[in-house]
Amino acid sequence: MKIRVILEASSEGGYTVYVPSLPGCISEGDSEQEALNNIKEAIELYLEPVEDESYLTEESLIREIAI
């Protein structure tokens, strides 16, 4: 899977990187490579299935889809 990320130099030094298609998925690093490595981990965590299903109601339907 390929995901587009935006890498920006930070005014305080280092880099900030975010994923437009995944709201709130953001990371940073002291170098471009560190920022990219960190956002890869952030994306994996963002896309990780939620184990806690306490928010489901009796009427909730669970389905799995491929993207």
| Whole-structure pTM value | 0.72
**pLDDT, tens digit, for every residue of 24-63?**
999 999 999 999 999 999 999 998 876 666 667 778 777 7
DSSP 8-state assignment for residue 67: -
Q: Let me know how many helices (H) and strands (E) the chain has, helices first.
A: 1, 3
Q: What angle do CA 31, 33, 38 make, to 5 degrees?
A: 95
Backbone angles phi, psi at 7, to 5 degrees: -110, 125
